[in-house]
C-alpha cells in the first residue's frame, strides 16, 4: 500500500528553459489559450458548497485556482454553490471567507449560484418551449429504475411527450408551490439510450419547500448541480473552470447545456483531488464527527479543516508550500501526511520563537551554586537570527530537566546526563552529575550536580561536551496545559476501510494526550501569534481556551522526523 503513495515533488527552477519543462497540464492549457488568442486573460472560480468548513483538499483547489490566476495576471471569483438549501448555512459562508483570507487569497467578486436563480429559471422555460425539457410525474425510484444501466438503455417516462404548453403550465405551477416535494421534476429531453448515462434525461429542477439562506422562501424549486454549474461559469465568463476528477463524466453535459443555450463557452478541466494518509476529507463524515462529539468542533486541532489546522499551529505558508510540492496531476494520489508536516516544520523552523519547556520533570540541584542566586541569560528567540531579539531566562540552583534526559545505566552512545557524566544546560554552564537521590520505590527524585563556572558562554575558552539538554528554573517555571495531538485515524489509507467496518472504528484513541509543561517565564509573554518551538521537543501554539491563569498550548508537530521529501 505504501508503494501507492506518491511524492510528486516539483523542483522549482530559476532557469526559464527548465521552467518550461515543468509546467503542469493546466499551465500548458492556459499558456496555449493565451498564445492562440482563445482568451485575452483568464478568470477562474472557487465554487464551495456552504455546507461545511473548508479542508486541506480545498486548500489544494484554492492554490490551483488562485495560483493560476496570479501567475497569468488573471482573476478568481468566489462563487458559492448554494443550490441545496437544506444543508447550507451562513455560518459556513462566513467561515469559508475567513479561511480563504487566512490563506492570503483575494477574490475578484463574491457571488452565489442563487444570484442566478431567475436566469436559470428563464433558461428552463426556454428549453421547455423548444421541446428540450419536460415535467415528469414519476417518483425518484421510478426515475432511477428507468435510467437503465451502462449495458442496458433506459426506458422513456410516460410523461416524456407532454406538449410544451402543458410542460410550461406544470413547471410554473411547480414554481408557484402547487406541488409537494418529490411530486414532480423537470428533466431535459435528450436520449434515454445515450451511452453516457448523464444524458439519459437528467433532472434539471426538483421541488424543495425549504428556506434558503439567501433567497428565503422565494423559491420552492431548486436547480440541480449539472444544470447550474456550467451556466454560472458562463454567466461570469469563467475561462477555465477547474474541478476534481470525479467531474470528468459530467463534462459532456456541462458542454451540452452551454451549446444548447448558446451562451459563453466556459470550459471545464479536471485534476486529481488531494487524499492524505491518516486523514478523511469528506465533509459529510467530518460533520458526523462534530455532531457526535467525537471531536470538539470543526476547529478541533486534529481536524483536517483549515480552521482546525490553523488552531493546531499550521501556517498558511506551510500549506501553500505543500500544495506547490504536490503539484497538479490527473491521477488520483494518496499523499503522505509527513510531507505536509515537513512543510510545517520548514516554515516554523525559519521563523518561530524558541522557549524551553519541560514535560516530565525531575529535580536537578546544583550543589555548588550560591544559595538564592538568580542569573539571567539573554537567549536568542530564533538562533537563525544571531543579531535578532532575545528573551531573558532565569538560572538558579534548583532546576527541572526531562526525566528522559537522565539515564542511570546509560549505554555508551547516550550523550545526555548519566552518573558522573557531563552535559551542557542549554545556553548556560556545563554540569556534572555527582549523585542521585531515590525514593523508597527506587524512583529518582533528585539529581545532584556541580557546575563549572568557567564554562559560561562568552566567559572564556569554549569547552565542548557531547550533550546539551534543556531545563527550567523550578521557582520561575510556569505551569501550562499541553494538548499533545497525534493523527486522528490509525489507518493510513482511509479509502480502504473494509466493507464490514465503519471509519469511526479507526479513530486513534491516543489522538489527544494531555500533559503538564513547566515553561520558562518568557513563553507566556510571547506575542508572535505563531507556533513557537519548545526546544528539543516540538512546535506548540497557544490555544484560545487558555487564560493567563491557565495557559493552554496545542502541539503543532514534533521537532524531528526522519522523513525527507524526495
Tell whether residue 61 is a contact of ligand ATP (CB under 6 A). yes
Between β-strands 538-542 and 532-534, what pairing exists: parallel, antiparallel or unpaired? antiparallel
CB-nearer residue toward ligand ATP: 280 or 393: 280
Choose among ligand ATP, Mg ion, none what residue 281 binds, the Cβ cut-off being 5 to 8 Å by kind.
Answer: ligand ATP
Q: How many CB atoms lie within 10 A of CB 67?
A: 20
Binding residue for ligand ATP, selected from 33, 49, 452, 481, defined by CB under 6 A: 49
Catalytic annotation, pick one of 172, 273, 403, 432: 273
Q: β-strand 532-534 against 354-355: which pairing, if any? A: parallel
Contact call for residue 310 and ligand ATP (CB under 6 A): no
Cell numbers placing 387: 543579531
Nearer to ligand ATP, 55 or 187 (CB): 55
Is 49 noted as a catalytic residue in this protein? yes
The answer to whether residue 57 forms part of the interface with ligand ATP (CB under 6 A) is yes
Residue 208 to residues 37, 180, 185, 220, 374: CA-CA distances in angstroms?
A: 43, 8, 10, 5, 72
Hey, which residues between 28 and 57 contact Mg ion (CB under 5 A)? 49
Q: Of residues 162, 283, 310, 483, which has the active-site annotation?
A: 283
User: Residue 111 CB, nearest distance to Mg ion (Å)?
Assistant: 16
Selected range binding ligand ATP among 46-54, 106-114, 189-197, 334-342, rule: CB under 6 A: 46-54
Residue 18 C-alpha cell reads as 527548465
Nearer CB in complex with ligand ATP: 49/446: 49
Q: Is 71 a catalytic residue?
A: no
Per the DSSP assignment, residues forming a β-bridge with 471 are: none
Considering the complex, what minimum distance in angstroms separates the CB of residue 96 from ligand ATP?
Answer: 8
To the nearest whole angstrom, how small is the minimum distance from the Cβ of residue 247 to ligand ATP?
7
Rank residues 244 and 296 by Cβ distance to ligand ATP and give the closer one: 244
Answer yes or no whether residue 283 interacts with ligand ATP by CB under 6 A.
Answer: yes
Alpha helices by DSSP H, 135-220: 140-146, 164-175
> What does 423 interact with, of Mg ion, ligand ATP, none (CB < 5 to 8 A by kind)?
none
> Binding to ligand ATP by residue 282, rule CB under 6 A?
yes
Q: Judge contact between 189 and 133, C-beta under 8 A.
A: yes
Rounded CA-CA distance 323/209 in Å is 41
Specify whether 351 is catalytic. no
C-alpha cell recorded at residue 63: 492554490
Residue nearest to Mg ion (CB): 49
Shortest Å distance, C-beta 84 to Mg ion:
10
Residue in this structure with the C-alpha cell 480563504, named with its chain if needed: 100
**Runs of H (alpha helix) within 48-179:** 56-71, 90-103, 117-129, 140-146, 164-175
Q: What is the distance between the alpha carbons of residues 184 and 139, in angstroms, rounded to a whole number?
A: 8
In the bound state with ligand ATP, the residue whose beta carbon lies nearer, of 335 and 399, is 335
Q: Considering the rule CB under 6 A, would residue 48 count as an interface residue with ligand ATP?
A: yes
Q: What is the largest CA-CA distance in the chain?
A: 102
**316 and 104 Cβ atoms separated by less than 8 Å:** yes
Q: Which entry of Mg ion, ligand ATP, none binds 276, CB below 5 to 8 A by partner kind?
A: none
Tell me if 107 sits within 8 A of 78, measured CB to CB.
yes
Distance in angstroms (rounded) separating the CA atoms of residues 78 and 225 = 17
d(CA 175, CA 222): 9
Query: Treating both helix axes as pointing N-terminal to C-terminal, what angle do 90-103 and 316-326 enclose, rounded to 10 degrees?
Result: 80
**Which is nearer to ligand ATP, 331 or 413 (by Cβ)?**
331
Instruction: Work out whether 243 is an interface residue with ligand ATP (CB under 6 A).
Output: yes
Q: Which stretch binds ligand ATP (CB under 6 A): 35-43, 53-61, 151-159, 338-346?
A: 53-61
Which residues in this chain contact Mg ion in the complex, by CB under 5 A?
Answer: 49
Residue numbers annotated as active site: 49, 273, 283
Which residues in this chain contact ligand ATP in the complex, by CB under 6 A?
Answer: 47-49, 57-58, 60-61, 81, 243-244, 273-274, 281-283
Amino acid at each position: 500500500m505504501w508503494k501507492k503513495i506518491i511524492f510528486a515533488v516539483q523542483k522549482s527552477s530559476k532557469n526559464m528553459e527548465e521552467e518550461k519543462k515543468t509546467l503542469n497540464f493546466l499551465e500548458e492549457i492556459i499558456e496555449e489559450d493565451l498564445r492562440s488568442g482563445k482568451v485575452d486573460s483568464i478568470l477562474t472560480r472557487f465554487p464551495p458548497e456552504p455546507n461545511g468548513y473548508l479542508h486541506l483538499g480545498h486548500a489544494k483547489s484554492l492554490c490551483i485556482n488562485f495560483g493560476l490566476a496570479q501567475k497569468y495576471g488573471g482573476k478568481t471569483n468566489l462563487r458559492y454553490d448554494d443550490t441545496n438549501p437544506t444543508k447550507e448555512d451562513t455560518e459556513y459562508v462566513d467561515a469559508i471567507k475567513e479561511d480563504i483570507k487566512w490563506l492570503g487569497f483575494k477574490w475578484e467578486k463574491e457571488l452565489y449560484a442563487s444570484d442566478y436563480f431567475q436566469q436559470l429559471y428563464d433558461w428552463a422555460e426556454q428549453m421547455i418551449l423548444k421541446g428540450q425539457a419536460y415535467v415528469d410525474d414519476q417518483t425518484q425510484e421510478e426515475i432511477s429504475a428507468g435510467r437503465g444501466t451502462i449495458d442496458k438503455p433506459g426506458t422513456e417516462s410516460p410523461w416524456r411527450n407532454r406538449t410544451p404548453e402543458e410542460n410550461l403550465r406544470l413547471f410554473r405551477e411547480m414554481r408557484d408551490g402547487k406541488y409537494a416535494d418529490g411530486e414532480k421534476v423537470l428533466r431535459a429531453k435528450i436520449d434515454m439510450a445515450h451511452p453516457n448515462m448523464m444524458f439519459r434525461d437528467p433532472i434539471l429542477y426538483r421541488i424543495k419547500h425549504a428556506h434558503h439562506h439567501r433567497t428565503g422562501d422565494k423559491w420552492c424549486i431548486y436547480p440541480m448541480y449539472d444544470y447550474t454549474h456550467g451556466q454560472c461559469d458562463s454567466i461570469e465568463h469563467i475561462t477555465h473552470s477547474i474541478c476534481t476528477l470525479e467531474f470528468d463524466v459530467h463534462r459532456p453535459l456541462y458542454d451540452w447545456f452551454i451549446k444548447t443555450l448558446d451562451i459563453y463557452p466556459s470550459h471545464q478541466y479536471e485534476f486529481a483531488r488531494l487524499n492524505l494518509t491518516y486523514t478523511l476529507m469528506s465533509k459529510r463524515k467530518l460533520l458526523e464527527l462534530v455532531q457526535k462529539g467525537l471531536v470538539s468542533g470543526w476547529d478541533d486541532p486534529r481536524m483536517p479543516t483549515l480552521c482546525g489546522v490553523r488552531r493546531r499551529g499550521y501556517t498558511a505558508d506551510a500549506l501553500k508550500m505543500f500544495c506547490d510540492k504536490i503539484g497538479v496531476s490527473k491521477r488520483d494520489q494518496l499523499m503522505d501526511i509527513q510531507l505536509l508536516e515537513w512543510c510545517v516544520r520548514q516554515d516554523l523552523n525559519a521563523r518561530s520563537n524558541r522557549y524551553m519547556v519541560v514535560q516530565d520533570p525531575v529535580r536537578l540541584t546544583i550543589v555548588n551554586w550560591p544559595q538564592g542566586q538568580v542569573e539571567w541569560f539573554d537567549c536568542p528567540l530564533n538562533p537563525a537570527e544571531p543579531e535578532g531579539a532575545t528573551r531573558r531566562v532565569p538560572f538558579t540552583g534548583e532546576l527541572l530537566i526531562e526525566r528522559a534526559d537522565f539515564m542511570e545505566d546509560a549505554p555508551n552512545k547516550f550523550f545526555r546526563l548519566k552518573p558522573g557524566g557531563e552535559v551542557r544546560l542549554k545556553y548556560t554552564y556545563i554540569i556534572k552529575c555527582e549523585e542521585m537521590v531515590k525514593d523508597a520505590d527506587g524512583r529518582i527524585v533528585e539529581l545532584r550536580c556541580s557546575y563549572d563556572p568557567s564554562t559560561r558562554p562568552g566567559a572564556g575558552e569554549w569547552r565542548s561536551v557531547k550533550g546539551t539538554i534543556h531545563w527550567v528554573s523550578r521557582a520561575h517555571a510556569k505551569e501550562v496545559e499541553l494538548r499533545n495531538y497525534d493523527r486522528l485515524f490509525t489507518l493510513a489509507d482511509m479509502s480502504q476501510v473494509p466493507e464490514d467496518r465503519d471509519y469511526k472504528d479507526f479513530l486513534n484513541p491516543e489522538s489527544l494526550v494531555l500533559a503538564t509543561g513547566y515553561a520558562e517565564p518568557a513563553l507566556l509573554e510571547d506575542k508572535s501569534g505563531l507556533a513557537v518551538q519548545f526546544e528539543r521537543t516540538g512546535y506548540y501554539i497557544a490555544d484560545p481556551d487558555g487564560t493567563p491563569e491557565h495557559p493552554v498550548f496545542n502541539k503543532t508537530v514534533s521537532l524531528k522526523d526522519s522523513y525527507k521529501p524526495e
